[in-house]
Chain A
Amino acid sequence: MTTATPTVPTGTQKITKREGPARRVRRRLNTRTATAVSIVIAIVWTIPTFGLFISSFRPEDQIKSTGWWTFFRDPQFTLQNYEDVLFGGSSGQLASYFINSLAITIPSVLFPLAFASLAAYALAWINFRGRDWIYIGIFALQIVPLQMALVPLLRFFSTGVSLGGVTVLPAWDLDGSQRFAQVWFAHTCFALPLAVFLLHNFISQLPKDLMEAARVDGATHPKIFRTIVLPLVTPALAAFGIFQFLWVWNDLLVALIFAGGNDEVAPLTVRLAELAGTRGNEWQRLTAGAFVSIVVPLIVFLSLQRYFVRGLLAGSVKG
């Protein structure tokens, strides 16, 4: 492990040209080892996905009898797998689950985003008693694993709340696609601590003068929130939005418990996990199915990567 190229300040790039030949060779060599190691890591990280991707376009009998690398010797291309897995009833019907994933994800991103930005603003810029305690409380909730809430929350939906025999809240009693509401509710609750924390980081760092000037001009808190804060923290909203989108779209546990397994509510992940369990060797379905589920987050991720990285950094390093 020769870690040769750390943090060369850009200025030295020019100086290198004037270095003695021996030093230059050594630098080159170090760089070469570094390049080799990083290429090896990059290959190991890419090949599995690449193999699955190639396979998803190969005919069933080919997938099952030869490795995907033979594709390059004997290319046979088909879209049949995708057609089967998207629309065929017994082999996936993923189109239907795809819609479920969308229906679950969109509100599950919007609700926590709105509620958390309101709360973060209040915690950062409104003076009231107990503010710090509420913030610490919400911050601390980040450590509660969502597993802690699953059993009681499911009971809350299915039997309601009763205190000493008196029904305080009735059961939600949802069926069919109404059960999306349960999933939205659960995802929103579970997302809030992190969302408030992240957005508070951004919102509390807006310039104080700006806020005071607005107050002096007679702007009310809702007005400041709408006209000043929201436009300024758009990057933060985008960052958390992407984060939450990926989390919800890729989630299995919450969906499994609150949506159930049928095609009326369950998202792609639940269906895929089920296919992997019951039809583990039907690779023509699994390969195409996995890609159907990956494609949307991949597009979102690649097009908005900048915001996502910024959000990650703000969330974890600033503390």
Chain B
Amino acid sequence: MDFDLAAEQPKLLMLMYGLLAFVLVVGGLLLLLDVVPTAVARRREAQLVAASASGAPPPRRPRQREGLFALFFLLPTVLLLLIGLVVPALRTILLSLMDRRSENFVGLDNYVWMFADDSIFRVLLNTLTWVLLVPLAATAIGLTYAVMVDRARFERFAKSLIFLPMAISFVGAAIIWRFVYAFRGAEQEQIGLLNQIVVGLGGEPRQWLLDSPLNTLLLIVIMVWIQAGFAMVILSAAIKAIPADIVEAARLDGVSPWQMFWQITLPSIRPALIVVVVTITIATLKVFDIVRTATNGNYETSVIANEMYNQAFRYGEDGRGSALAVFLFILVVPIVIYQIRNLRQQREG
């Protein structure tokens, strides 16, 4: 028993401080905003009374008040975003143009390295594979499942089963699947489900996570496993929102279920479909935990986010790490622009 409750006390104390800070900051802010305007209003009232008594014109109503409120309401958010996101992001762009210790300006060297170095090129290729396969597979499975269980008897329960992996951390999911992929020599009994099935079918057990490029595909399965639930929930809601009279009309026209799916269901849920694909694509671009936990990026499975972590925080190559982060950002931008344009069209249409 190495666990010692006394050793945990500083943490709980720190948590208390955190909660205290929360109460003070938020409560203080609200109190300040509550007390000050009341006082101001009272003074103004007094002024008004005095003015009407003396017959002088009433004092001009201060115009700034609304703006002042807004300032205080927005202050914490804007301040934190500037310190925590805007300024760091701009600095990252700057750092990506400098050497590993951020002392000398090196121009685009870090970006050139990214495409010239074979191992990094491999990383980019892997990321591309992820981004192509995960949204496609997760959306397809999510959609199929959503259509199939729609109005089925155990719909809620059936949906929960698929949705549940969303509550599991990527780290947990990676461990769960590593156990499925676990390997024992051919002469031993297998403990991994996948190898057991392979052996059961008369094959040889394999070290699944060591063989490239199959290992990348097997890691992708983990991500699909997590994201399919998300796709299913959004698409299921979209399917339920299709007006009943359209479906009914099609049914009276005698369309087959297959036609119904392609000609009614799919066009009706197109906006939701795009949102799902875009969201999963962005999540996939940034995937880190799965790769790090399952293979640590070895055996040619690394992806951009993992390599960024390695370069910046393990090898101390701040310039290269920053360049990879910027590259990630550049990949995300067009996807988001596409989505915004799409949403705008939808609102106008």
Give A contacts to B, CB under 8 Å. Answer: 1-9, 11-12, 30, 34-35, 37-38, 41-42, 45-49, 51-52, 55, 63-69, 86-90, 93, 95-96, 99-100, 102-103, 106-107, 110-111, 114-116, 118-119, 121-123, 126-129, 131, 134, 138, 141-153, 156, 176-178, 180-181, 184-186, 188-190, 192-193, 196, 220-223, 225-226, 246, 249-253, 256-257, 264, 269, 272-273, 276-277, 280, 283, 286-287, 289-290, 293-294, 297-298, 300-302, 305, 309, 312-313, 316-317, 319
Interface residues of B in 278-298 (CB under 8 A from A): 279, 282, 285-286, 288-289, 292-294, 296
- Enumerate 10 A-B pairs (CB-CB under 8 Å) in ascending A order: A6-B247, A51-B180, A51-B193, A131-B70, A151-B322, A185-B84, A196-B77, A287-B179, A300-B167, A313-B234
Q: Are B84 and A129 in contact (CB under 8 A)?
A: no
User: What's the minimum C-beta distance from A213 to chain B, rounded to whole angstroms?
Assistant: 18
Q: Does B186 contact A (CB under 8 A)?
A: no
Contact A269 B171 (CB under 8 A): yes
Closest 3 CB pairs of A and B: A189-B84, A89-B2, A250-B169
Docked-complex contact B171 and A272, CB < 8 angstroms = yes
Q: Which of B54-62, B110-118, B150-158 contacts A (4 or more CB under 8 A)?
A: B150-158
Q: Which chain A residues lie closer than 8 Å to B343 at the CB level?
A: 319
One of B9-17, B119-127, B128-136, B212-220 at the interface: B9-17
Within 8 A of A (CB), among B154-184: 158, 160-172, 174-180, 182
A312 to B279 alpha-carbon distance, docked (Å): 11
Task: Report which of B13, B196, B325, B328 forms a contact with A151, defined as CB distance below 8 A.
Answer: B325
Complex: how many Å from CA A255 to CA B281? 23
Q: Which residues of A contact B333 (CB under 8 A)?
A: 143
Residues of B with C-beta under 8 A to A300: 167
Asked if B19 and A290 make an inter-chain contact with CB atoms under 8 angstroms apart, the answer reads no
B148/A34 in contact, CB under 8 A: yes
Contact A99 B8 (CB under 8 A): yes
A180–B321 alpha-carbon span in the complex (Å): 25
User: Contact at A48–B148, with CB atoms within 8 Å?
Assistant: no
For residue B201, CB closer than 8 A to chain A, the reply is no
Q: List chain A residues, Cβ under 8 A from B296.
A: 277
Q: Which residues of B contact A273 (CB under 8 A)?
A: 171, 289, 292-293
Q: Known: A122-B70, A317-B272. Is A52-B257 also a contact (CB below 8 A)? A: no
The answer to whether A177 and B10 touch (CB under 8 A), given A7-B242, A118-B74, A134-B74, is: yes
Asked if A317 and B271 make an inter-chain contact with CB atoms under 8 angstroms apart, the answer reads yes
Give complex CA distance A150, B89 in Å: 8
Count chain A CB atoms within 10 A of each CB in B148, B276, B309, B343 and give the residue with the most. B148
Asked whether any CB of chain A lies closer than 8 Å to the CB of B308, the reply is yes
Determine whether the beta carbon of B14 is less than 8 Å from that of A7. no
User: Could you tell me the dominant secondary structure of chain A's interface residues?
Assistant: helix
Contact yes or no, A290 B193, CB < 8 A: no
On chain A, the residues within 8 Å of B225 by CB distance are 45, 48
> Given known contacts A38-B158, A127-B66, A144-B89, is B176 in contact with A48 (CB within 8 Å)?
yes
Min Cβ gap A132→B in Å is 12
* Cα A130 to Cα B258 with chains together (Å): 51
Chain B 321-349 per-residue mask, 1 if CB under 8 angstroms from chain A, else 0: 11011101100110010000001001000
Interface check B198, CB cutoff 8 A: no
Chain B positions within 8 Å of A223 at CB level:
34
Q: A145-B329, A220-B38 are in contact. Are A6 and B288 (CB under 8 A)?
A: no
CB–CB A151/B312 < 8 A: yes
Q: Are B18 and A7 in contact (CB under 8 A)?
A: no
Decide if A51 touches B179 in the complex (CB within 8 Å).
yes
Give 13 new A-B contacts, CB below 8 A, not counting A1-B144, A128-B66. A7-B150, A7-B240, A11-B244, A107-B19, A148-B85, A180-B11, A192-B81, A220-B41, A276-B171, A301-B164, A301-B167, A316-B275, A317-B238
Is B180's CB under 8 angstroms from A48's CB? yes
Interface check B78, CB cutoff 8 A: yes
| Contacts known (A45-B165, A122-B70); A176 close to B10, Cβ less than 8 A | yes
Q: B121 to chain A: closest CB distance in Å?
A: 19
Q: Are B251 and A6 in contact (CB under 8 A)?
A: no
What is the chain A residue whose CB lies nearest that of B331?
A145
Contacts of B76 on A, CB cut-off 8 Å? 115, 118-119
A12-B251, A276-B293 known; A141+B22 contact, CB < 8 A = no
* Interface residue B141 (Cβ < 8 Å from any Cβ of A): yes
Q: B248-261 vs A: 1/0 string, CB under 8 Å? A: 10010000011011
| Interface check B73, CB cutoff 8 A | yes
- B10: chain A residues within 8 A (beta carbon): 176-177, 264
- Asked whether A221 lies within 8 Å of B73 as measured between CB atoms, the reply is yes
B37 within 8 A of A: yes
Contacts of B8 in A (CB 8 A): 96, 99
A149 to B326, CA, bound (A): 10
Among A4, A148, A223, the one with the most B-chain Cβ atoms within 10 Å of its Cβ is A148
Contact between B150 and A5, CB atoms less than 8 A apart: yes
Are A152 and B92 touching (Cβ within 8 A)?
A: yes
Inter-chain contact A7/B239, CB cutoff 8 Å: yes
Flag B67-91 by CB within 8 Å of A: 1 or 0 each: 1011101101110110111111101
Q: How far is the CA of A221 from the CA of B68 in the complex (A)?
A: 11
B77 touching A293 by the CB < 8 A rule?
A: no
The listed residue (B81, B171, B191) touching A63 by CB distance below 8 A is B191
Most B CB contacts (10 A, CB to CB) among A9, A55, A86 go to: A9
Q: Choose from A145, A189, A276 the contact partner of B80 (Cβ within 8 Å).
A: A189
**Are B80's CB and A115's CB within 8 A?**
yes
Contact A103–B258 (Cβ < 8 Å): no
A138–B95 alpha-carbon span in the complex (Å): 24
Residues of B within 8 A of A103 (CB): 11-12, 14-15, 18
Determine whether the beta carbon of A152 is less than 8 Å from that of B167: no
